[in-house]
Amino acid sequence: MMKKLISGLVLLAMLACLVLPAAAAEPTALPMTVAEAVDGVSAYCTAAMQAAGTYSDWSILQLARSGNLTDAMRQDYLASLAEKLRACGGVLDKSYYTQYSRTILALTACGENARDFAGYDLTAPLANYDQTVWQGVNGAAFALIAMDSVSYGFAASGTSSRARLVAYLLAQELPGGGWDYSGKTADPDQTAMVLQALAPYRAQANVSAAIDRALNVLSGMQKDDGSFDAWGASSSESISQVLVALCALGIDPAKDSRFVRANGAWLVSALMSFRVQTETGLAFGHTNRTANYMATEQAGYALAAYERFLAGQPALYTMTDTTYGTHTCVRYRDTARHWAQPYVCAVTEQGLMNGVGNDCFDPEGTLNRAMLATVLWRASGSPAADGGSFADVPAGQWYSTAVSWAQQSGIVQGVGENRFAPMDSITREQLAVMLWRASGSPGSTQSLAAFPDAGTCSDWARTALAWAVERGILNGMDGRLAPGGTATRAQAAAMLTRYLQ
């Protein structure tokens, strides 16, 4: 009897020490529906632009992504922008390249191709890495958001790439998580903007970890009324940016306990506390309930982002549902019905691979080692590199700098006897290894047992192949890995696209 009593007391003590997760509070009801708020902001912004006779890129974005942009206003905006570009020779700003990013977003939301509008390629300036990141995390974040809206390609002759901009943002992360414009203390606006930019890359382990840290930081910053402080006061703009970020990450702010306070206050209820009803529509204040146009724009597109999320539509900045977003990209004569057409489109638009002439891509042709080194070099922004040490890579060849860079970066190690064998066809396992090394040679717990030819993998390639399978970069061929098989140009295009995205 005494033993049973002692056991019972021990069990009660254990239960008392067990901390159960708190149940998510019921989110506070809203004073109006999200759709009503979106339409109200749309009416306000439309009236304001008509009265002023000028157009705001962010307002046009909000109207287009909420379905409230009239054809007349769209045409007026496009005509006004074309006139502006001709007047300035296509130079929107010589220093602040976020000007190009926001215009790219507005144009794409209108169904236009920002690479060819009024005779100008507005994505071209963003290929200049140094100038793009001159604005710090703002410049890098919005460049990624703009270029990823419909997978615009960076110019191959430039120095920017998706991988390089992502790496830049990760390098700017503050200790403990989050980002700030000045790099000192995590700021809700800046952190949310970077999360918006990194959302398409969250499948990458290092990006996913940074996102998780940032979400915890934001949750810790959120006040009891659901808002965030910016510069010493609760700001509607901070709420708007966090709302866009959560929607981009597929997180419902009304259901995630990290962003619903114990009293039920949550992002949208906090945002609604800044609303101002006017004669022309719904406006929002910045730190109070006095109408502020910039705060209204941000609240409008944030609410549009949430409306799209609730409807299961592509995210605010994922514009695959626009007229240009559904474009068929470049069409080679030999890829129109090929399984790799979408991948060929992606690598061509990003300037990573080119056709072979006569409007052909040669999808079943082979890819040699020099070609792959060059593709990875382009994806990293075509950085400068000193001469390499391979005896069979002479200076002055089209691939010399790329191979030197790949050797210095540890991506290639040669085939023995100080040779690189640039013209040798690359095998599937060699391709996987080069991508794996470019990613920092991460570990993998993926088993290859499901592939009957797993035993034919080279020992030096086994971890890389497991990683490539785990990340969805490499798929089997009729259920087999075929590690020693020659990689075709189509297979390389597919693996590169999966790797980069």
Give 142-165 pLDDT, tens digit per residue: 999 999 999 888 877 789 988 899
The alpha carbon dihedral of 155, 158, 160, 161 has a sign of positive
pLDDT confidence band for 501 (50 / 70 / 90)? low
The domain spanning residue 259 has which CATH number? 1.50.10.20
Tell whether 80 is covered by a domain. yes
pLDDT at residue 380 greater than cutoff 90: no
Tell whether 425 is covered by a domain. yes
Place of tokens 């169904």: 111
274 with 373, same domain: the answer is no
Give 212-264 pLDDT, tens digit per residue: 999 999 999 999 999 999 878 899 999 999 999 999 999 999 999 999 999 99
User: Among the three residues 264, 291, 310, which one is the final residue of a domain in this structure?
Assistant: 310
74 with 154, same domain: the answer is yes
208 vs 12: CA distance, rounded Å: 39
Tell whether 6 is covered by a domain. no
Tell whether 411 is covered by a domain. yes
CB 260 within 8 A of CB 24: yes
267 with 381, same domain: the answer is no
pLDDT at residue 347 greater than cutoff 80: yes
351 with 305, same domain: the answer is no
Name the most confidently modeled range: 179-183, 186-190, 437-441.
186-190
27 vs 225: CA distance, rounded Å: 11
Tell whether 14 is covered by a domain. no
pLDDT at 328: 63
Chain centroid to Cα 154, Å, comes to 14
Strand partners, 403: none
Tell whether 325 is covered by a domain. no
According to DSSP, residue 200 is labeled G
Q: What does the DSSP assignment read for 363-393?
A: TTSB-BHHHHHHHHHHHTT---------TT-
The alpha carbon dihedral of 91, 97, 100, 102 has a sign of negative
As given in the structure block, the two tokens for residue 28 are: 């506070």
Number of H helices, E strands in the chain: 19, 4
153 vs 136: CA distance, rounded Å: 21
147 with 90, same domain: the answer is yes
Residue 87's Cβ-count burial label (10 Å; 0-12, 13-18, 19+) is: exposed
pLDDT at 242: 98
CB 391 within 8 A of CB 418: yes
Q: What is Dmax (Cα atoms) for the chain?
A: 94
Tell whether 25 is covered by a domain. no
Provide the domain limits for residue 266: 34-310
114 with 260, same domain: the answer is yes
419 vs 394: CA distance, rounded Å: 11
pLDDT at residue 371 greater than cutoff 50: yes
* 113: helix, strand or coil: coil
pLDDT at 14: 41
Per this entry, what is the length of the chain? 501
User: Among the three residues 256, 289, 310, which one is the final residue of a domain in this structure?
Assistant: 310
272 with 397, same domain: the answer is no
Name the most confidently modeled range: 117-121, 277-281, 410-414, 497-501.
277-281
User: Among the three residues 310, 326, 360, which one is the final residue of a domain in this structure?
Assistant: 310
Q: What does the DSSP assignment read for 16-77?
A: HH--PPPPPPPPPPPSS-HHHHHHHHHHHHHHHHHHHT---HHHHHHHHHHT---HHHHHHH
pLDDT at 10: 40
43 vs 49: CA distance, rounded Å: 10
Give 305-335 pLDDT, tens digit per residue: 999 999 999 999 999 899 877 766 666 888 8
Mean pLDDT of 489-496: 88
Which of 91-95, 291-295, 297-301, 374-378 has the weakest average pLDDT?
A: 374-378
396 with 289, same domain: the answer is no
Q: How many domains is the chain partitioned into structurally? A: 2
* 416: helix, strand or coil: strand
Which of 114-123, 172-181, 345-354 has the weakest average pLDDT?
A: 345-354
pLDDT at residue 87 greater than cutoff 90: yes
487 with 405, same domain: the answer is yes
164 with 294, same domain: the answer is yes
pLDDT at residue 4 greater than cutoff 50: no
206 with 268, same domain: the answer is yes
350 with 281, same domain: the answer is no
Tell whether 28 is covered by a domain. no
